[in-house]
Amino acid sequence: MATLSTTHASPSIFGGVMIIGGTIIGAGMFSLPVVMSGAWFFWSLAALLVTWFCMLHSGLMILEANLNYRVGSSFDTVTKDLLGKGWNLINGLSIAFVLYILTYAYISASGSVIHHTLGKMSVDFPARFAGLIFALVVAFIVWMSTRAVSRMTTIVLGAKILTFFMTFGGLMWHVEPATLLDSKAINPSYLPYLFMTLPFCLASFGYHGNVPSLMKYYGKDPQTIKRCLIWGTLMALGLYVIWLIGSMGNIPRSDFIAIADKGGNIDVLVGALSGVLNSRALDLLLIVFSNFAVASSFLGVTLGLFDYLADLFKFDDSPVGRLKTALVTFIPPMLGGVIWPDGFIYAIGFAGLAATIWAAIVPALLAKASRKKFGSPIYRVWGGNKMIVLILIFGVTNAAIHILSSFDLLPVYH
């Protein structure tokens, strides 16, 4: 019978919840109201709930598989042992693609946010160059050390949380029920636009690479880690719902067409909210929050990509080795940001496509393989094979939806 080793001073669950919630919640949330404007509030809420359920359980499946290995075993190690080199290669490529595409997305987002912020001060600075300068600053911080990133992230994350509650507390006071319920629309159609929201929902619940890290933090304590995943993902779900109410309750559904036509970048959405709120204080809070949201997401994603590439190419941790890693990490997405500065929404969608592999399909296969090889004696996700099949269907469906959408084979709200 398996036993769990415990210590008298086990870490608080709060830390694990914040790791998961902090990883999930970022600048990607700004894409949700834009891509969900066709399906509008209630159908979008349903999409978020389904995605939350499936992404929570796919994370629990990674936990189930990981518990059969020593503490410290990476996602890569577990995948290679259970699924073989082929699946491990596919999984690794999908992770690298997601991290690269998100780095590009946040360069695009940072450029638009800085451009909008400076515009409020009557300074016209091109978004593509603003994003380039911001990326260079982040690259320098990441090159310095992981400790430098950690310190900067702590400051930015604290500011983001503070401005989040101040901003969305103000937004909720301005919500118009008639706008949120779209009650003035004549014969509205929502359901046809539901499916294209799913890949964006999936990309907004990515935390799966942190599951092995939680095992380092808590040891082989599945119930504590399970609670961290549940409460961390629920926190993100709750904040997303508040964000949808705050945005869809202030901006009429028809106005989102113009926002999407302009690329749907963060500055356009923030500008639209500023236009309907008529509150200078809330306008300032929105601008400050959007800057911190982009900065925290950018730091987290680029550090993950930096470490992944350093391990992949076996670059050492010397200043020269870190410079090589920084060049490989930042040059491709920076070039993308200069050439195509308004690709934030598209990039988040492609991140959702690649994330279906390592956040849905691979976890389900890992659970199946670990039960066959080990019997999963320490912890097993409820639902048996039916749950595994459900997560596989969820992943494949998301991939199919994004591919169909890319070829304009799904309805688009316009």
Instruction: Considering the domain delimited by 18-179+191-406, tell me its CATH architecture.
Output: Up-down Bundle (1.20)
Q: What is the mean pLDDT of residues 170-194?
A: 89
Q: How far apart are CA 193 and CA 180, in angstroms?
A: 17
Contacts of range 313-321, beta carbons closer than 8 Å, 24 or more positions apart: 319/143
Residues above pLDDT 90, as percent of the chain: 39
Q: Domain locations in the chain?
A: 18-179+191-406
Helical segments of 121-221, H only: 127-144, 146-173, 177-180, 198-203, 211-218
pLDDT computed for residue 53 by the predictor: 98
Under 8 Å CB-to-CB from 334, ≥6 apart: which residues? 107, 132, 135, 136
- pLDDT grade for 3, boundaries at 50, 70 and 90: very low
Distance of CA 192 to the CA centre of its chain: 25
Provide the whole-model pTM.
Answer: 0.85
Name the least confident of 190-194, 250-254, 330-334, 339-343: 339-343
Is residue 8 helix, strand or coil?
coil
Q: How far apart are CA 150 and CA 142, in angstroms?
A: 9
Q: How far apart are CA 405 and CA 398, in angstroms?
A: 11
Q: What is the pLDDT of residues 280-322, one digit of tens each?
A: 778 788 888 888 888 888 887 888 788 878 877 888 888 899 9
Q: How far apart are CA 313 and CA 321, in angstroms?
A: 10
Q: What is the pLDDT of residues 55-105, one digit of tens each?
A: 999 999 999 999 999 887 878 888 999 999 999 899 888 888 888 988 898
- pLDDT grade for 24, boundaries at 50, 70 and 90: confident
- pLDDT grade for 10, boundaries at 50, 70 and 90: low
User: What count of residues does the chain have?
Assistant: 414
Is residue 311 helix, strand or coil?
helix
